[in-house]
Structure 1
């Protein structure tokens, strides 16, 4: 009975997920831009949620997982509470059908179980031989080693489960946003096949990176996400309209530091996305 109840919950969750996920209306520059712009909102809100909690370092150290004598399951498995939490969460979400969509890539793919969700015919826009490209390992390392220390304040409030749950939300949206570079590369390839084919055959990474880069557009994106962090990160009152001027941001108390969001896009999101694009293109003719 318990197994049947669990299965029922998973199938219902899968049905809800699939109902919310509509098939692509067709890959184009417009649909790509719309997707990436919408992901900015999700990223900023996810960062705001994680910034609510202190750093909570014990959640990321295997020695702290267990019975307090250093001999717990984390030490034996060489895994932290955060890693085990994310592994198990991905396993449940896989059973619910999350990873049927190529936009979603698990961090622990080798541990993802067979899905219990009903199959769904997601639109397949990616070139099959290049669809495997992803930078989840780099995203994981960047998030825990570089972003998290500047996002969260030092401290330990013991709320490890909710803290790591918010980490998972950040990781998933960053993975989806950065690895969406595969779709960006595909639509750009379709728009200029002759030029890209020549560079791909020559395996000219530098030329591909240059062709994919628009510094003016990148600056627009970085400034926009910084402003979103300012707008979304303010405490709203009934005293009047909120101030959204970037020039006044240093005097305000934001839920997430807008400069951290700018840095995230400047140093990691945009460069890693372009790296995904290049790797995808190098396999586009396989």
Structure 2
């Protein structure tokens, strides 16, 4: 876990990881705002449109793979919070490794659900976030997609840290379910509907505040122009981000006693 940003002082408690999740909400909301300023720009995602020499794939795949390769060289993926979308294309890091505090079980490294995140992002989130049509800003669109995808992925895979802290605080609750490979029981133990509802409401409120065009005339809030529909932020948490985070937690816990 990144010492400077996610957990100053290397103190891992349920409260500290919850604060980390709250901070990541801001990043995701700003990412939604940034992506919403472009229309769909469907050519960004069409393999036959880009026709990049020596590369087979869409423009967004080209941008993501090459950006991740550069970031891998710079050591980004040495941080256990980071999970790449195309790890199979990784070069080795060329910078000295940083001694991140290792609190996760070694099996955590094998948990990467970015393929599911990728599919849900393009198939389900984008259609309700952006306007149809195109404006030609395909490279900028791909870069915006990458930033938002990385923020969402970081938040979902942060479930590994949440699960570890929960396990350490109450191992007697988790061990029997883990040994029985009881996915349903673990999911039930990890689910707090009141907390999830609070998170959804907070995210939507942040989207309302961060996503408004600020004026100086004291306009009534009902007349305020917004950069995107705030309910999209709440829906993204309800339908994808929270469920996938719990999926990561369950997968992590099932490996915890190996």
TM-score bracket relative to the smaller structure: over 0.9
Which residue pairs with 2:129 in the alignment? 151
Q: How far apart in 2 are the matches of 1:24 and 1:155?
A: 47
Please, what TM-score do these two structures have when normalized by structure 1?
Answer: 0.85
2:214 maps to 236
Give 1:130 deviation, angstroms: 2.9
Which of 69, 72, 79 pairs up with 1:101?
79
Aligned to 2:242: 270
Q: 1:113-142: CA deviations, max 9, x gaps?
A: 111122110111111123321211111111
Equivalent residue for 1:39? Answer: 24
Query: Post-superposition shift, 1:182?
Result: 0.4
User: What is the deviation of 1:22?
Assistant: 7.2
How far off is 1:65 after superposition? Answer: 1.0
Distance of 1:257 and 1:127 partners within structure 2: 39
The equivalent residue for 1:258 is 230
Partner Cα separation in structure 2 for residue 221 and residue 92 of structure 1: 34
Conserved? CA contact 1:131–1:280, under 8 Å: no
* Contact 1:24-1:123 at 8 Å conserved across structures: no
**Structure 2: how far apart are the matches of 1:274 and 1:190?**
17
Q: How does 1:42-121 map to 2 (within 5 A)?
A: 42-66=27-51, 73=53, 77=56, 79-121=57-99
Shift of 1:267: 0.3
1:203 aligns with 2:154: no
Which of structure 1's runs of 4+ aligned residues deviate more than 4 A? Answer: 17-24
2:108 pairs with one of 120, 130, 133: 130
Q: Let me know the Cα RMSD of the aligned residues.
A: 1.9
CA distance in 1, matches of 2:98, 2:133: 44
Q: Which structure's CA Rg is the greater one?
A: 1
What stretches of structure 2 of length at least 5 have no aligned partner? none
Contact 2:6-2:20 within 8 A present in 1 as well: no
- Pairwise CA distance, 1:252: 4.4
Deviates more, 1:20-29 or 1:139-148: 20-29
Q: Structure 1: which 5+ runs fail to align?
A: 1-16, 67-71
Quote the Cα distance in structure 2 between the aligned partners of 1:256 and 1:93.
30
Residue 69 of structure 1: aligned partner: none
